[in-house]
Structure 1
């Protein structure tokens, strides 16, 4: 099992990053590859999960051990594969997510991409009581808050990605409020941001 990879971040793609270690380039699939944007061409340490199946060996990467731990638990849930787990991690506030599981909050869990009522119930059935020892859970509001930490982080990451594409802070300022009112992962917000900028 590959616990983490430490090397030079050489490329960032829509779904993955490339890290070179002693002349070998590793493709690592991440929930939000653009969170590493500021570290391009620098040394990074990415926590990894080595997923082996009959037709492929894939590396999934995370910015911290909390994300990796939640990913491993999510893929243990019946009906959730690595892609589904990544979609959840792309916009999750981990303590809030764990709190929702403990409260059996189906409505909150079904707000994530690919999670229907059946999957939400399965997450609660399989994970309730198993994550509280690892994470400090918080209280989630009944209604989504556009200024919640998860949303703010995704917007900030999307803005950094847009800056990397050549847009200035001055150009991004008019669309920031609109992005904060949108739901979605960092990748989705980047695409929405590009669409808004094209209309300017």
Structure 2
């Protein structure tokens, strides 16, 4: 089992990155939250990994810390939740915020995650409640508020990036455009407007 990799980032295009480890290139899929923690291409990165083995493929998944990997491994044990959905959940909400949602039975918050409908949210709460107790206590209320705010900002960024990609920009270019203008902006529409204005050089 490959549990940890350290190397140089050769390519980054969410949700996949290519990591050079002593001359061997590892293709790794990672949640957006992990991408946000990584440096630019050419820089060093350390990832905690999970190797999924199927009949037709071996797929590596990478995470910025062990708690993300633990949640990923716990999620894929839930009926109907595969690696793709688990990555989407981790992309839309950090570990503490997810634990709080499960312990508070917050179906509404969970259904805001990409790919999670009401039935899936209810199943996550039922099946994850006891499993989370084993390794993750709920975050304090003040931390939950901070995490909720961060999750909301991340959702706006994803919405704005999706709109820019639909306009023809490459995902990595859209991300760079938004990184320059997203601070303090509270709507996806404003992010898009500022990003386009910055690119076009208009006032």
Shorter chain as denominator, the TM-score bin is 0.7 to 0.9
Higher relative contact order (CA 8 A, sep 6+): 1
Aligned pairs (5 A) from 1:152-171: 152=153, 165=176, 167=177
Q: What is the total number of aligned residue pairs between the two structures?
A: 184
1:109 corresponds to which residue? 110
**CA deviation map 1:52-95 (0-9, x unaligned):** 11211100111111110111111111111111011110121321
Supply the distance in 2 between the matched residues of 1:80 and 1:34 (Cα, whole angstroms).
22
Please report the TM-score for the alignment, with normalisation by the length of structure 2: 0.74
Unaligned runs of 5+ in 2: 162-171
TM-score (normalised: structure 1): 0.75
The whole-number CA distance in structure 2 between the counterparts of 1:147 and 1:105 is 12
In 2, the alpha carbon distance for the partners of 1:147 and 1:127 equals 19
Residues 61-100 of structure 1 aligned to structure 2 (within 5 Å): 61-100=62-101
Task: Report the structure, 1 or 2, having the larger helix content.
Answer: 2
Partner of 1:26: 26
Is 1:181 equivalent to 2:193 in the alignment? no
- Asked whether the equivalents of residues 91 and 150 of structure 1 are also in contact (C-alpha less than 8 Å), the reply is yes
Could you say which residue in structure 2 is the equivalent of 1:197?
195
